[in-house]
Structure 1
Amino acid sequence: MVRHRVTGLRTKPAGRITLTSLAANHPIDVAPDTISETPMNPTRRHLLSAAGALATGSLVSPSQAQSTPLVKVATFVPEQSVGVAKVIKPWMLATQQEVGTRARFQGFWGGSLGKDAFKQFDLVRTGVADVAWVLPGYHGRQFEDMQLFELPFLFENATEAALVGWHLCEKKMLRGIEDVHLVGFFATEVSNLWMANPIKSLDELKGKKIRSVGAVHAEWLKVMGASAETMDSPEMNEGLQRRTLDGVIQSWSGMRTFKTLPLVRQNQLAPIGVIPFLLLMNRKTFDGLPKDVQDAVMKHGGTTLARGAGEAYEGVGQEIRATVEKDAKIQLAELAASDKARYAQQAQAVHKWWIQKSPNGEKIYAEAVAQLKKIRG
Structure 2
Amino acid sequence: MKRSTTLAAALGLAAVFAAPLANAQEIILKVAHFWPSTALSHQKVLLPWCDKIAQESANRLKCQIYPAMQLGGTPPQLIQQAADGVADIVWTLPGYTAGRFPSVEVFELPFMSRSAESSSRALWEYAEQFAQKDFAMVKPLAFHVHDNGYVHGKKPINTMADFRGTKMRAPTRLTNKMLAAFGAAPVAMPLPAVTESMSKGVIDGYVLPWEVIPTVKLHELTKFHSETDPAEPALYTAVFTIAMNKAKYNSLPDDLKKVIDANSGADFSAMIGKVWDESAPAARQHAVDRGNVFNTIPASELASWRKVGDTLAAEWVQEMNGKGYPGQDMLDSAKRLIEQHSK
State TM-score, norm by structure 2. 0.80
1:355 to 299, 302, 317: 317
Q: Percent of aligned pairs with the same residue? A: 20
1:306 to 253, 260, 269: 269
1:317 to 259, 272, 280: 280
* Residues 223 and 116 of structure 1: CA distance in aligned 2, closer, same or farther (over 3 Å): closer
Shift of residue 240 of structure 1?
A: 4.5
In structure 1, the residue matched to 2:306 is 344
In structure 1, the residue matched to 2:64 is 107
Amino acid at match of 1:151: L
CA deviations 1:187-242 (Å, max 9, x no partner) are: 22222111312243334323433233333122212322233234566875566556
Matched, 1:369 2:335: yes
In structure 2, the residue matched to 1:155 is 113
Q: How does 1:330-341 map to 2 (within 5 A)?
A: 330-341=292-303
When Rg is computed on C-alpha atoms for both structures, the one with the higher figure is: 2
Q: 2:299 & 2:255 partners in 1: Cα distance?
A: 49
Amino acid at match of 1:116: T
Q: 2:30 & 2:75 partners in 1: Cα distance?
A: 15
* Residues 235 and 139 of structure 1: CA distance in aligned 2, closer, same or farther (over 3 Å): closer
CA deviations 1:74-131 (Å, max 9, x no partner) are: 1144433222221122222222222215x32222323444443233223222333322
Shift of residue 304 of structure 1?
A: 2.2
Q: CA RMSD in A?
A: 2.8
* Residues 302 and 238 of structure 1: CA distance in aligned 2, closer, same or farther (over 3 Å): closer
1:198 to 156, 181, 186: 156
In structure 2, the residue matched to 1:211 is 169
Matched, 1:167 2:125: yes
Q: How does 1:45-194 map to 2 (within 5 A)?
A: 67-77=24-34, 78-101=36-59, 103-110=60-67, 111-173=69-131, 175-194=133-152
SS in 2 for 1:293: helix
Moved more, 217-226 or 362-371: 217-226
SS in 2 for 1:308: helix
**Larger RCO (CA within 8 A; separation ≥ 6):** 2
Q: 1:177 & 1:65 partners in 2: Cα distance?
A: 32
Amino acid at match of 2:331: Y
In structure 2, the residue matched to 1:55 is none
SS in 1 for 2:236: coil
CA deviations 1:293-342 (Å, max 9, x no partner) are: 22222222212211221122222222111232344x22222232333344
Aligned residue pairs total 312
Amino acid at match of 1:251: P
In structure 2, the residue matched to 1:295 is 258
Contact 1:114 1:123 in 2 (8 A): no
Shift of residue 136 of structure 1?
A: 0.9
SS in 1 for 2:100: helix
Shift of residue 178 of structure 1?
A: 0.8
Contact 1:118 1:138 in 2 (8 A): yes
Q: 2:154 & 2:319 partners in 1: Cα distance?
A: 33
Shift of residue 132 of structure 1?
A: 2.0
State TM-score, norm by structure 1. 0.73
* Residues 238 and 108 of structure 1: CA distance in aligned 2, closer, same or farther (over 3 Å): closer
In structure 1, the residue matched to 2:14 is none
Give ranges in structure 1 of 5+ residues lacking alignment.
1-63
Shift of residue 348 of structure 1?
A: 0.8
Give ranges in structure 2 of 5+ residues lacking alignment.
1-20, 229-233
